[in-house]
Amino acid sequence: MSEATLDQVTDHHDDHHDHGPAKGLSRWLFTTNHKDIGTLYLWFSFLMLMVGGLLALIIRTELFQPGLQFINPEFFNQMTTNHGLIMVFGAIMPAFVGLANWLLPMQVGAPDMALPRMNNLSFWILPFAFGMMIATLFMEGGGPNFGWTFYAPLSTTYAPDSVTYFIFAVHMMGASSIMGSINIIATILNMRAPGMTLMKMPMFVWTWLITAYLLLAVMPVLAGAVTMMLFDIHFDTSFFNAAGGGDPVLFQHIFWFFGHPEVYIMILPAFGVISHVIPAFARKQLFGYDSMVYAVASIAFLSFIVWAHHMFTVGMPLAGQLFFMYSTMLIAVPTGVKVFNWISTMWRGSMTFETPMLFAIAFVVLFTIGGFSGLMLAITPADYQYHDTYFVVAHFHYVLVPGALFSIYAAVYFWFPKWTGRMYNESLGKLHFWLSFIGVNITFFPQHFSGLAGMPRRIPDYALQFADFNMLSSIGAFIFGFAQVFFLYVLIHGIRAGKKAEARAWDGAHGLEWTLPSPAPYHSFTHPPVVTEEEAHT
Amino acid sequence: MADASKDSSVYYVPHSGWYPVVLAFGVMLMLTGFGAWLNATRAGEPASWTQTIIGFGIVALVLYFWYAKVIAENQEGLANAVLKRSYVWGMGWFIFSEVMFFAAFFGALFYVRVLAVSWIGGDGAKALTGEYLWPEFEPAWPVVANPDPGLFPNPGESMAAPRFSDVGSWLSYLPLWNTIILITSSFTVHIAHLAIKEKNRQKLITWLGITVVLGIVFLILQVEEYVVAYQDMGLTLGSGIYGSTFFILTGFHGFHVTLGTIILLVQFFRSLKDHFQPEDCFGFEAASWYWHFVDVVWVGLFIFVYVI
């Protein structure tokens, strides 16, 4: 079937224009091809992972011992701020959009994304936006130093001048995300192959559809928040200044109305990836497909009514605290459904443990740890103690690093043969996994303890009793950092010297993408394929 | 080539092209230029518009070429049914994202009106806040006396609507006329749409032209309202939370009306060239959806910013 598809691609395009990849740089600058754009997104996010990781290592170097050794506190603030911003907006989000670009058209049986030129624009905005944001670090007065949550008035009244460029960079990233989501929604709803009903869509497609709606709903709100900042700074308004009748807490409400769905934007596609990898290596169908879909939808809905659990100590009315505590705890129910289903999928499966599966299993275990610490933080009176400590840092790094990032690694190893036509080296991949797994736990597990003991986050110096935990954390961070540079070697080794991959590179993998040859043809499906029972995810 | 439009099982994928990357570059140039201008102005240094204007020029030119190309492709019959449905989905969800953009400002308005202003005045559990910060402050909406008038000068008066019984004042109340104009324009643009369906080009041109004129009249009146606010009423962006919410909501709405008017104007010139067919007029329909959207936002504004 794949051979026939290839012929049709050629036939159809010969009559008006050539559709092979262009040569040289112009291929990447001007491309409208979903695979090229996916590749751009993925390499860009890897570059940002390296930059953000470098900032993290600067932080961990300073925190290796108590006292101020290497950098001054002002610079430290810029490091924590930009580490967060770059990792969230530059590494994790673009990586998932890159995966969406590569996979969605193949998984729904389409030739490309629905709006290919806008797809190119969505990507090319990002290098300019991040160029602007990173350039602020070298400006007079320094770059953003107010934390990745940029709370007013730190980000307005007391901000460095460069905040203006930061605001515009956020506007540009938001525009990129909105166009990307519109494209993804149009692709999924409009370009599915005949026979692929909504409840037959692969889980990655489902999770991205819901994520795209989250992005559409909250990125404009973020744009509104930074716009109000811009007006407070340059046009004398008083949105976040109580002296004029505004309220700094208003900023926090608007920010977290964006911010909480944002953290699910970074984890829902991860759920989708894991729901592909575990069935493939357990050689069983995904357990409870329907409940997985409903669970993702429930989590997405709940994400809109829990935002103020980030603000329990800000001085909210008691009724508000109770509402946000209980609504937050509700999220554990659909999340528990998902974890249960992943484990049930593995139950009595004929499992093998290739690198993607290792990352997926680590995801299930370590993400659950992050989920449990989230439940602890959801308890309002307990949060009074944990708020702004390293416990929070440990919590969100557990859901983002061995959560979101590990799922991206699982996806890269899993679909690597489909993208490149070659297999990565299994031993190198496993080495990358174990270094990452050990590194990430040494880095972040001790932070639970220093946080519970009261060590505040975002501080370049600390009391002596936290010295051991911090030294351990820093050692783990360097192991983890080294592992990610090593990952680059694994990739290049695989692309250059890997063994040729078959169309269905993993014997347990199902889905339309595995019916295409490896590497996949430049245009996936010019004529809609037939969705067979075997490839449908029911 | 033309079979793409008839055979819905064949997809059309456009050529690669230079528009997107140049557009992204133009946006970057425009925004960094504007940022530099803002920072220089705030520091009291000489500021230049040059880079902003060049960036804006690039953006405007690329958009022009881009749309021209999309229109040309459609007329060649390259855009098939699937692509056209994608445009419909795209425009619909784009408008949804715009709704959420305004939701942020409406949310801010509701939050300060209902909660923040009374808390500053010491309401509820915030008695000590009221006592320690600005004990003189009397919470009320519109806030015509700010907590710290030294930092944020009080507005002379607000834009609040007259009493319902006071018919004479309503007749001279500018926002009411603006409401009437915008709602009328939603009807006129609909009549223009019906004209396309009836294949009556003259009727289309007339009613679309009337819609554009109504949009321009709305904008002129809005500018007039701002002039009165700044010169006669002492109501500015800097006069506390009332001025902040008033100008950001009406200002961004006015900006969207400007965009909508330009979009309708483009459709007007396209209707002069006879681009629209009863079964193929999504360019017009998208513009019309956008126009209805700015109309609905205005109704929300009129109720929550002016009347209530």
Output the pLDDT for position A455: 96
User: Which burial class, exposed, middle or buried, applies to A283 when counting CB atoms under 10 A from its CB (0-12, 13-18, 19+)?
Assistant: middle
Phi, psi at A455, each rounded to 5°: -75, 120
Q: For A415, what's the count of Cα atoms within 13 Å in the CB-facing half-sphere?
A: 31
Q: A119: distance to nearest CA of chain B, Å?
A: 9
Interchain CB distance below 8 Å, A115 and B90: yes
* Residue range A34-50: mean pLDDT, rounded: 97
Yes or no, beta carbons of B241 and A239 under 8 Å apart: yes
pLDDT tier, A263 (very low <50, low <70, confident <90, very high otherwise): very high
d(CA A244, CA B143): 9
What's the pLDDT at B136?
Answer: 92
Q: Which of B90, B101, B116 sits opposite A250 (nearest CB)?
A: B116
Mean pLDDT of chain A: 93
The verdict on B143 touching A (C-beta cutoff 8 Å) is yes
Q: Which of A5, A122, A162, A176 is catalytic?
A: A176
Residues 224-263 of B with CB under 8 A from A: 236-238, 240-245, 247-248, 252
Contacts with A283 (C-beta within 8 Å, 6 or more apart), sequence order: A349, A350, A351, A507, A508
Contacts of B1 in chain A (CB under 8 A): 15-16
Which of B244, B247, B249 has the highest number of chain A CBs within 10 A, making it the mutation to test binding with A? B244
Averaged over A192-221, what is the pLDDT? 95
Q: What is the pTM of this model?
A: 0.94
Task: Calculate how close chain A gets to B4, using CA atoms only, in Å.
Answer: 9
The answer to whether residue A267 scores a pLDDT higher than 60 is yes
Chain A contacts of B34, Cβ < 8 Å? 168
B128 touches chain A (CB under 8 A): no
β partners of residue A389: A456
pLDDT given at position B15: 75
| Catalytic one of A60, A192, A284, A309 | A309
Residue A325 has pLDDT above 90, yes or no: yes
Residue numbers in B near A231 (CB within 8 A): 237, 244, 248
Choice among A495-504, B13-22, B105-114, B242-251 with the minimum mean pLDDT:
B13-22
* Dist CA B53 CA A140 (whole Å): 25
A112 given a catalytic annotation: yes
Contacts of A168 in chain B (CB under 8 A): 31-32, 34-35
Euclidean distance between the first and final Cα of chain A, in Å?
22
Question: Is A206 designated active site?
Answer: no
Q: How many CB atoms lie within 10 A of CB B118?
A: 17
- Is CATH 3.20.20.100 the right assignment for the domain spanning A2-15+27-515? no
Q: What is the pLDDT of residues A519-538, one digit of tens each?
A: 998 888 877 888 877 677 64
Instruction: Identify the three-state secondary structure at position A422.
Output: strand
* 3-state helix/strand/coil string of chain B: CCHHHHCCCCCCCCCCCCHHHHHHHHHHHHHHHHHHHHHHHHCCCCCCCHHHHHHHHHHHHHHHHHHHHHHHHHHCCCCCHHHHHHHHHHHHHHHHHHHHHHHHHHHHHHHHHHHHHHHHCCCHHHHHHHHHCCCCCCCCCCCCCCCCCCCCCCCCCCCCCCCCCCHHHHHCCHHHHHHHHHHHHHHHHHHHHHHHHCCCHHHHHHHHHHHHHHHHHHHHHHHHHHHHHHHHHCCCCCCHHHHHHHHHHHHHHHHHHHHHHHHHHHHHHHHHCCCCECCECHHHHHHHHHHHHHHHHHHHHHHHHHHC
Residue B13 contacts A where some CB pair is shorter than 8 Å:
yes
Residue range(s) in chain B whose domain bears CATH number 1.20.120.80: 86-307
Q: Are the beta carbons of A164 and B38 separated by less than 8 Å?
A: yes
Least confident among A43-47, A469-473, B75-79: B75-79
Q: What is the pLDDT of residue B12?
A: 67
Query: Domain coordinates of chain A in residue numbers?
Result: 2-15+27-515
B-chain residues near A112 (CB < 8 A): 11, 13
Catalytic residue among A19, A35, A83, A537: A83
Q: Is the confidence at residue B117, as pLDDT, over 50?
A: yes
The model's confidence at residue B269, banded by pLDDT at 50, 70 and 90, is: very high
Contacts of B11 in chain A (CB under 8 A): 110-112, 191, 526
**Is A338 a known active-site residue?**
yes
Share of chain B above pLDDT 90, in %: 81
* Residue of chain B whose alpha carbon sits nearest to that of A13: B1
A246 vs B15, B104, B116: nearest CB: B116
ipTM: 0.94
Considering only CB atoms, A116 lies closest to which of B13, B104, B236, namely: B13
User: Number of CB pairs < 8 Å for A and B?
Assistant: 241
Query: Does A34 participate in catalysis according to the annotation?
Result: no
Among A226, A329, A320, A205, which Cα is nearest to A271's?
A205
B-chain residues within 8 Å CB-CB of A110?
Answer: 11
Q: Do A124 and B112 touch (CB under 8 A)?
A: no
Catalytic entry in A13, A283, A430, A457: A457
User: In whole angstroms, what is the distance from residue B216 CA to residue B257 CA?
Assistant: 9
pLDDT at A154: 96
* Nearest beta carbon to residue A238 from set B28, B86, B241: B241
The residue of chain A with its CA nearest to that of B86 is A186
SS3 A366: helix
Chain-chain contact of A129 with B243 (C-beta, under 8 angstroms): no
Strands (E), A374-512: none
What's the topology of domain B1-79?
Helix Hairpins (1.10.287)
Numbered ranges of CATH 1.10.287.70 in chain B: 1-79
Residue A124 has pLDDT above 90, yes or no: yes
Indicate yes or no: CB of A30 within 8 angstroms of CB of B18.
yes
| pLDDT at residue A532, rounded to an integer | 76
Q: Give the closest of B16, B107, B248 to A31, CB-based.
A: B16
Indicate yes or no: CB of A246 within 8 angstroms of CB of B42: no
Mutate to test the interface with B, among A209, A237, A251, A522 (most CBs of B within 10 A): A237
Q: Do A120 and B15 touch (CB under 8 A)?
A: no
**Does residue B10 have a pLDDT over 80?**
no
Q: Do A245 and B18 touch (CB under 8 A)?
A: no
A260, A418, A448, A510: which one is catalytic? A260
Looking at CA atoms only, how far is residue A112 from chain B in angstroms?
Answer: 7
Please compute the mean of the pLDDT values over residues A9-28 and round it to a whole number.
60
Would you say residue A14 has pLDDT above 80?
A: no
What distance in Å separates the CA atoms of residue A448 and residue A366, rounded to the nearest whole number? 13
Return the pLDDT at B1. 35
pLDDT digits (tens, 9 = 90+) for A450-496: 999 999 999 999 999 999 999 999 999 999 999 999 999 999 999 99
Which B residues in the span 62-81 are in contact with A, Cβ-Cβ below 8 Å? 66
* CATH T-level topology, domain B86-307: Four Helix Bundle (Hemerythrin (Met), subunit A) (1.20.120)
**Residues of chain A positioned with their CB less than 8 A from the CB of B146:** 238, 243-245
pLDDT of residue B5: 40
Average pLDDT over residues A362-367: 98
- Is B215 in the A-facing interface, judged by CB distances under 8 Å? no
For residue B144, the distance in angstroms to the closest alpha carbon of chain A comes to 10
The answer to whether residue A527 is catalytic is: no
Q: What whole-number percentage of chain A has pLDDT above 70?
A: 96
B4 has pLDDT over 80: no
Mean pLDDT score across all residues of chain B: 92
* B20/A183 touch (CB, cutoff 8 Å), yes or no: no
Summarize the confidence of residues A504-519 as an average pLDDT.
93
Which of A8, A26, A117 to mutate: most B Cβ within 10 Å?
A117
Q: Do B86 and A526 touch (CB under 8 A)?
A: no
Distance between CA atoms of A277 and A298, rounded to whole angstroms?
22
Q: For B277-292, what is the mean pLDDT?
A: 95
Q: Does B185 touch chain A (CB under 8 A)?
A: no
> CB distance A527–B147 less than 8 Å?
no
State the pLDDT at residue A11: 39
What are φ and ψ of residue B213, in 5° steps? -60, -40
Q: How far is CA B41 from the centre of its chain?
A: 26
